[in-house]
């Protein structure tokens, strides 16, 4: 077994899933205070992962994604049998799509309003036209996330049928790879990621989460 995913990357993956489920539930049930709290928490998590995608261990970095035309052609020529320590080319494209949609979803939520009780923290600074556009995006982009999630599940099942256990790899951090590619990580990567998360989330808590909690 080869170490493939560091602990911060695995934590982001599963916390991302839990928060998205919570955001969907709170939005569908009009629990807007909870929706805001989860949304701000998600913003902090996403910003932390974006930073980790720049300075994290090699397979966590965006520069390690294999979404080039050359790699995609090689992967297709090998009929999907070429091994990668991190994401394969199709998986890399999926990661890029996820992060683009996640970022736009959480950014649009900062300007959104339910027109009754709850407004995003940047709603007051937006024009009516911008706020309306952002509200529409925030409401409809979740359908795109659901489509991407469905494709992700199909890919996991397809890989499982080929004997590659992607889900367990994201739990244990290890993958069975024949050529044992080098994994470059930090011994203190969890502490580094925690420090980044705190630096991002303490201001979010002070300015946005705390007022919501005090108003509940």
Taking only the tens place, the pLDDT of each residue in 51-80 is 999 988 888 999 989 888 898 888 888 877
SS (H, E, C) 61-96: CHHHCCCCHHHHHHHHHCCCCCCCCCCCHHHHHHHH
- Burial label, 111 (beta-carbon count in 10 A; 0-12, 13-18, 19+): buried
Residue 183 reports pLDDT greater than 70 = no
pLDDT score recorded for residue 181: 63
Asked whether 38 and 23 are in contact (CB, 8 A), the reply is: yes
Alpha carbon distance 90, 70 (integer Å): 12
pLDDT score recorded for residue 175: 85
In the chain, where are the structural domains located? 2-215
Token duo for residue 158? 């397809």
Global pTM? 0.92
pLDDT band per the 50, 70, 90 thresholds, residue 179: low
CA dihedral 203, 207, 213, 216 (to 10 degrees): -160
pLDDT tens, position by position, 108-152: 999 988 766 788 999 999 999 999 999 999 999 999 999 999 999
CATH fold group of domain 2-215: Fumarate Reductase Cytochrome B subunit (1.20.950)
């Amino acid at each position: 077994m080869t170490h493939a995913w560091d602990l911060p990357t695995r934590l982001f993956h599963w916390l991302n899933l839990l928060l998205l489920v919570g955001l969907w539930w709170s939005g569908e049930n009009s629990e807007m205070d909870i929706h805001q709290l989860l949304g701000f928490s998600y913003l902090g998590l996403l910003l932390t992962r974006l930073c980790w995608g720049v300075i994290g261990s090699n397979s966590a970095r965006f520069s390690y994604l294999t979404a080039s035309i050359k790699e995609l052609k090689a992967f297709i020529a090998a009929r999907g049998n070429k091994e990668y320590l991190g994401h394969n080319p199709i998986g890399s494209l999926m990661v890029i799509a996820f992060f683009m949609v996640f970022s736009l979803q959480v950014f649009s939520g900062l300007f959104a309003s339910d027109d009754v009780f709850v407004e995003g923290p940047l709603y007051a600074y937006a024009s009516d036209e911008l706020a309306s556009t952002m509200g529409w995006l925030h409401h409809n982009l979740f359908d795109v996330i659901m489509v991407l999630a469905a494709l992700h599940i199909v890919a996991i099942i397809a890989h499982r049928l080929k004997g590659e256990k992607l889900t367990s790899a994201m739990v244990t951090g290890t993958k069975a790879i024949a050529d044992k590619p080098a994994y470059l990580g930090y011994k203190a990567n969890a502490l580094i990621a925690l420090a980044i998360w705190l630096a991002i989330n303490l201001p979010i808590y002070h300015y946005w989460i705390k007022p919501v909690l005090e108003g509940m």
